[in-house]
Amino acid sequence: MVLSKLETGARVGDQAFEAVHAAIVSGEYAAGRRLQIRDLAAELGISVMPVREAIKRLEEAGLVETKPYRGAVVKDFTPEELLHVYEVRRLLEVGAAERGAFRVTADDVERLAQLDRAVREALERRSVIDYLDRDEEILSVVYAATGNPVLVDSIRSLWGRCRHFKIVGVREELDRGEPSSLLAYHERFLEAVTSGDARAAAGVVTDSLDAATDRIRRALPEAAVPEAPRAR
């Protein structure tokens, strides 16, 4: 991905952050890629200062890390770190799904139907990023119905941290010729939400996150696998 020149102005720092952030979460900037400030500034057509500030914000968001002799790089999460991310996602999203599904409006349901079509079209085009964006937008509609923007922002931040893992997972399913597997949780979730079954919606999110956690655990050496949380 080649970054586009920015319109200089008061928000140039925010624009730099958004441009580099988009390149990371889209997978265009792969994990481990060096983020050379002068090169990024030249691509964006701005000075190095707002780029430096953008990199610092991305580091605070957990998407970038500074390594000796390499400088800033796109963070490559280890399986152990991903397990921590998914543990927190489970804590936040199961409750958000149940509360949100209980409060969705008729307009929300109509929007979910539109996004459902967009998800299927993205899979037909084998567009991994569009699929993930629309899938996350579906969850966002339901989670936003909780009326708690801090909760939604926290969840979206966690999605950014595990985006590279999600991209790899979707590509593997498409390469195996099994796009229908990517719709299994999606269909169950929409059915639960649109029928007003909040508990079932929470159960689908639980199952989905547990399945992702299991995939991460399989990538760990046996001795390093921590105990899974016990249901209460």
What's the number of CA atoms in the CB half-sphere (13 Å) around residue 14?
Answer: 3
For the chain, the domains span: 12-74, 79-224
79-224, superfamily in CATH? Answer: GntR ligand-binding domain-like (1.20.120.530)
From residue 180, alpha-carbon distances to 76, 123, 187, 203 in Å are: 29, 9, 10, 20
Give the pLDDT of residue 27: 80
Question: For residues 21 and 25, what is the distance between their CA atoms, to the nearest angstrom?
Answer: 6
* pLDDT score at 223: 40
pLDDT the model gives residue 231: 46
pLDDT value of residue 224? 46
- The predicted structure's pLDDT at residue 86: 96
Q: Can you say whether residue 167 is alpha, beta or left, with left for phi > 0 and alpha for psi between -120 and 50 degrees?
A: alpha
pTM (two decimals): 0.78
Please state, in angstroms and rounded to a whole number, the distance separating the CA atoms of residues 144 and 97.
Answer: 10
Cα–Cα distances (Å) from 87 to 93, 94, 213, in that order, read 10, 11, 8
Predicted local confidence at residue 7, as pLDDT:
60
What local confidence, expressed as pLDDT, does residue 222 receive? 55
190 by Cβ neighbours in 10 Å (0-12 / 13-18 / 19+) ranks as: buried
Is there a shared CATH topology between the 12-74 domain and the 79-224 domain? no
What average pLDDT values come out for the chain (232 residues) when binned by 10 residues? 59 86 83 89 90 90 84 87 95 98 97 97 92 96 98 94 87 85 93 96 96 87 51 44
Second-level CATH architecture of 12-74: Orthogonal Bundle (1.10)
